[in-house]
Amino acid sequence: MRFAKTLAAVAAALSIGIASAQEVGKTAPAFDLPSSNPQNVKLADLKGRVVYVDFWASWCAPCKQSFPWMNDMQAKYGAKGLTIIGVNVDKKRDDADKFLSGTPAKFTVAYDTTGKVAESYQPKGMPTSFLIGADGVVRAVHVGFRDKDREDLEREIAAALTASGRK
Amino acid sequence: MKRVILLVTAVMLVAGCESMPKVQPWQKGNLAKPEMAFDPDTLEARFADHTYFSKEAASGGAGVGGGGCGCN
């Protein structure tokens, strides 16, 4: 019994070191990254818009599936106040560009080659998306991308746009 | 006393591992390369498995029941 208690204490002590992931209800960490646009993409510039930040990599198969859907969402809700930013986490930008030539993105792609932004958001898998409301607060976090996720994700985006008062 | 020392040593050993950098989900690019897979060719691996468990007459050699006749 005493041994079990000690073991529990040790486990607790060890787990303290694990960084906490970005959670719903917290302010989204700022970022400033080179992008597919001529200028850098800054989260601060997008205040007042609903931002869908999606972490992806060229080596991630579900990411490939999510791109056409994100293109659709950007086309459908862009005018209503949605900005999709695909944050690429490849170490080499070439890998990302190769992926993009086969899987075009009709939204802003940002390049986080150092992984610093990924570190501040702590995505738990690839892809992971963070839906950030117009107030800059994370509204939803979603890990992975499956066909059946589409409707739920779209509903969340629509709800975020409604909450922002833009509709 | 001896047990306490042993425990402290064990904890320190385990704690040493904790400082090692963890591979984060966004850093798994190299692990995702095809040459990192256990089987370079999935189809060939399945075929080899099938031949193996049929010849060995092993039951459920590759997660499939039966064996011996090579017909499953």
pLDDT in tens, A37-48: 999 999 999 989
Among A6, A91, A123, beta carbon nearest to B29: A91
A98 part of contact set with chain B, CB < 8 Å: no
pLDDT for position B66? 53
Lookup result for tokens 């746009």: A161
Ranges of beta strands (E only) in A66-112 are 82-88, 108-111
- The shortest C-alpha distance from A164 to chain B (Å) reads 31
Cβ neighbors of B36 (< 8 A, separation 6 or more) are B30
Output the tens digit of pLDDT for each of chain B's 72 residues: 788 888 888 887 777 766 677 889 999 998 988 888 888 888 998 888 888 877 776 555 555 555 556 565
- The shortest C-alpha distance from A76 to chain B (Å) reads 29
CA distance A68 to A141: 20
The HSE-up count of residue A153 (CA atoms within 13 Å, CB side) is 27
Give pTM, 2 decimals. 0.75
- The shortest C-alpha distance from B37 to chain A (Å) reads 13
pLDDT for position B58? 58
A149 part of contact set with chain B, CB < 8 Å: no
pLDDT for position B45? 87
**Looking at the domain that runs over A21-163, which CATH code has it been given?**
3.40.30.10
- Domain spans of chain A? 21-163
